[in-house]
């Protein structure tokens, strides 16, 4: 076991980390006096991993495998794992993103017993032909229900138009056809390859002792060591979208609009600056307090929110999205392009930059008291080779030039537009 290290940060959080002999890293966020506890066991394996390599041997797996595996792990020889958590007063859950899978629980008592349950059910799979077939039916229903949601259809249409080959455009849920290829043997193989301690991170938040956490984990006996799989993604794509536009109809009252663009591949070292620059730049120009938002909202070009997002989950395929409900999408897009070109030429005002910087700092500080948000940020950055808490140092370094440099990366001709229009 490596020596316990304190993770220095500028926000006065009591955070330490240790790497066990089996390769598992534990990050403890000590919250003295808090009455609730939270633990998350994350795996560096998500829904966009369809091809990978171990010891020069290549493997391909069906779309939806990571999500299927997440579901299956909640059942063992003794029945649903939720029952064991419930008896100990804990609320468990899990999620699969394109880049990782995570299992977590929250409780106000019996923390170490619940932690042992978490470690055991994630590391000790139990799959049978019957359980897999039963889960296949459940997930097929989930896929069908998702496809009936306008927002899901719009997002799928957008990704499939933005990317030609990159696996980021694959559906985390999979398709009814792809999950038909999944069986118990495949799930056992994928679990043995990815669910190894050196490919996982345990994050613990609360008023707990690291020594007891380590003892609990070591007693649970995680799987043996193994070589970390190398995720293999498709060759580099053009920065231009695969298709510029995609249109579909649905039973909705107003057009749902989603547009955005690919961005350049990121290295870990530039990721935090890129993420902060995007938030600050996009909110300064298009956010709720911007002239663009005020003028276009009052003109009736969109209603509700004008959502902005940057996805850096997979550093080889970062992308931007803008979404809203609009009665006049063509006019709104024209105004967006006009405002983008204006700000690329004149730049963001210093006062707008400062206002958005203060808002971002407040948002990030609040997230430190959300165990779920904090654990997700720590895990996501850890698998990219980053320390989330170091990002707070950027608040004293980032400047308006960084923001303007980011905005100049967005080219109108690189935008991909997906629309879901009302049926006539």
Question: Using H for helix, E for strand and C for coil, what is the string for the chain?
Answer: CCCCEECCCCCCCEEEEEECCCCCEEEEEECCCCCCEEEEEEECCCCCCCEEEECCEEEECCCCHHHHHHHHCCEECCEEHHHHHHHCCEEEEEEECCCCEEEEEEECCCHHHHHHHHHHHHHCCCCCHHHHHHHHHHHHHHHHHHHCCHHHHHHHHHHHHHCCCCHHHCCCCCCHHHHCCCCHHHHHHHHHHHCCHHHEEEEEEECCCHHHHHHHHHHHCCCCCCCCCEECCCCCCCCCCCCCEEEEEECCCCEEEEEEEECCCCCHHHHHHHHHHHHHHHHHHHCCCCHHHHHHHHCCCCEEEEEEEEECCCCCCCEEEEEEEECCHHHHHHHHHHHHHHHHHHCCCHHHHHHHHHHHHHHHHHHCCCHHHHHHHHHHHHCCCCCHHHHHHHHHCCCHHHHHHHHCCCCHHHCEEEEEEECC
pLDDT on residue 73: 95
End-of-domain residue from the set 177, 198, 231? 231
Which residue from 73, 49, 26 is spatially nearest to 313, judged by alpha carbons?
Answer: 49
Place of tokens 């977590």: 104
Same domain as 295, residue 214: no
Same domain as 391, residue 287: yes
- The answer as to whether 158 is a domain residue is yes
Same domain as 72, residue 25: yes
pLDDT on residue 1: 66
51-54 and 230-231: which strand pairing?
antiparallel
Could you give the percent of the chain with pLDDT greater than 90? 88
- The answer as to whether 130 is a domain residue is yes
Instruction: Give tens-digit pLDDT for 354-380.
Output: 999 999 999 999 999 999 999 999 999
Place of tokens 């080889």: 316
Q: What span, in angstroms and rounded, lies between the C-alpha atoms of 324 and 408?
A: 23
pLDDT on residue 6: 87
Place of tokens 């118990």: 184
Q: What span, in angstroms and rounded, lies between the C-alpha atoms of 97 and 47?
A: 6
Q: What span, in angstroms and rounded, lies between the C-alpha atoms of 260 and 159?
A: 10
Bridge partners for 192 per DSSP: none
pLDDT on residue 213: 95
Same domain as 187, residue 100: yes
- The answer as to whether 413 is a domain residue is yes
Through-space distance between the first and last CA atoms of the chain, rounded to whole angstroms = 65
Same domain as 274, residue 152: no
Same domain as 301, residue 222: no
Half-sphere exposure in the Cβ direction for 1 (13 Å, CA): 14
Q: What span, in angstroms and rounded, lies between the C-alpha atoms of 132 and 126?
A: 10
pLDDT on residue 4: 81
Burial of 396 (0-12, 13-18, 19+ CB in 10 A): exposed
pLDDT on residue 221: 73
Same domain as 219, residue 314: no
Give me the torsion for CA of 75, 77, 81, 83, rounded to 10°: 120
- The answer as to whether 325 is a domain residue is yes
pLDDT on residue 224: 67
End-of-domain residue from the set 181, 199, 231? 231
- The answer as to whether 239 is a domain residue is no
Q: What span, in angstroms and rounded, lies between the C-alpha atoms of 149 and 145?
A: 7
Bridge partners for 107 per DSSP: 37, 90
- The answer as to whether 32 is a domain residue is yes
245-250 and 416-422: which strand pairing?
parallel
pLDDT on residue 235: 74
Same domain as 292, residue 211: no
Bridge partners for 76 per DSSP: 79
Same domain as 196, residue 123: yes
Ranges of the chain with pLDDT below 70: 1-2, 223-224
Provide the number of structural domains found in the chain: 2
Same domain as 42, residue 11: yes
CB 293 within 8 A of CB 287: yes
Cα–Cα distances (Å) from 398 to 8, 276, 286, in that order, read 20, 8, 20
Range of the domain at 153: 5-231
Full-model pTM: 0.94
pLDDT on residue 82: 87
CATH label of the domain that carries residue 90: 3.30.830.10
- The answer as to whether 384 is a domain residue is yes
Same domain as 261, residue 206: no
Instruction: Give tens-digit pLDDT for 374-419.
Output: 999 999 999 999 999 999 999 999 999 999 999 999 999 999 999 9
pLDDT on residue 222: 76
- The answer as to whether 240 is a domain residue is no
End-of-domain residue from the set 206, 231, 256? 231
Same domain as 171, residue 264: no
């Amino acid at each position: 076991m490596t020596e316990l290290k304190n993770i220095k940060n500028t926000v006065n959080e009591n955070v330490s980390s240790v790497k066990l002999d089996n390769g598992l890293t534990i990050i403890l966020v000590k919250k003295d006096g808090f009455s609730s506890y939270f633990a998350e066991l994350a795996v560096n394996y998500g829904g966009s991993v369809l091809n990978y390599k171990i010891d020069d041997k290549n493997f391909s797996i069906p779309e939806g495998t990571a999500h299927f595996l997440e579901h299956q792990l909640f059942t063992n020889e003794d029945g649903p794992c939720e029952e064991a958590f419930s008896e100990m007063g804990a609320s468990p859950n899990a999620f699969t993103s394109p880049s990782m899978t995570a299992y977590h629980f929250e409780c106000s008592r019996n923390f170490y017993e619940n932690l042992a349950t978490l470690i055991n059910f994630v590391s000790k799979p139990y799959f049978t032909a019957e359980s897999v077939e039963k889960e296949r039916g459940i997930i097929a229903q989930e896929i069908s229900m998702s496809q009936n949601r306008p927002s899901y259809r719009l997002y799928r249409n957008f990704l499939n138009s933005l990317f030609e080959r990159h696996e980021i455009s694959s559906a985390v849920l999979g398709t009814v056809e792809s999950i038909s290829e999944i069986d118990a043997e495949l799930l056992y193989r994928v679990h043995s390859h990815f669910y190894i301690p050196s490919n996982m991170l345990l994050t613990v938040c609360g008023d707990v002792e690291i020594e007891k956490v380590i003892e609990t984990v070591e007693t649970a006996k995680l799987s043996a060591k193994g070589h970390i799989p190398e995720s293999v993604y498709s060759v580099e794509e053009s920065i231009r979208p695969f298709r510029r536009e995609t249109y579909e109809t649905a039973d909705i009252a107003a057009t749902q609009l989603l547009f955005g663009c690919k961005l350049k591949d990121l290295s870990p070292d530039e990721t935090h600056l890129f993420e902060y620059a995007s938030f600050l730049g996009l909110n300064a120009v298009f956010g709720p307090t911007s002239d663009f938002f005020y003028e276009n909202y009052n003109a009736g070009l969109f209603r509700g929110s004008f959502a902005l997002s940057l996805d850096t989950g997979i550093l080889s395929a970062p992308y931007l999205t803008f979404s809203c409900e609009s009665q006049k999408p063509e006019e709104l897009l024209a105004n967006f392009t006009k405002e983008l070109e204006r700000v690329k030429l004149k730049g963001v005002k210093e006062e707008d930059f400062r206002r958005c910087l203060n808002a971002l700092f407040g948002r990030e500080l609040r997230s430190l008291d959300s165990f779920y948000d904090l654990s997700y940020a720590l895990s996501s950055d850890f698998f990219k080779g980053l320390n989330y808490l170091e990002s707070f140092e950027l608040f004293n370094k980032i400047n308006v030039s960084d923001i303007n440099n980011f905005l100049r990366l967005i080219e109108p001709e690189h935008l991909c537009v997906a629309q879901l229009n009302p049926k006539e």
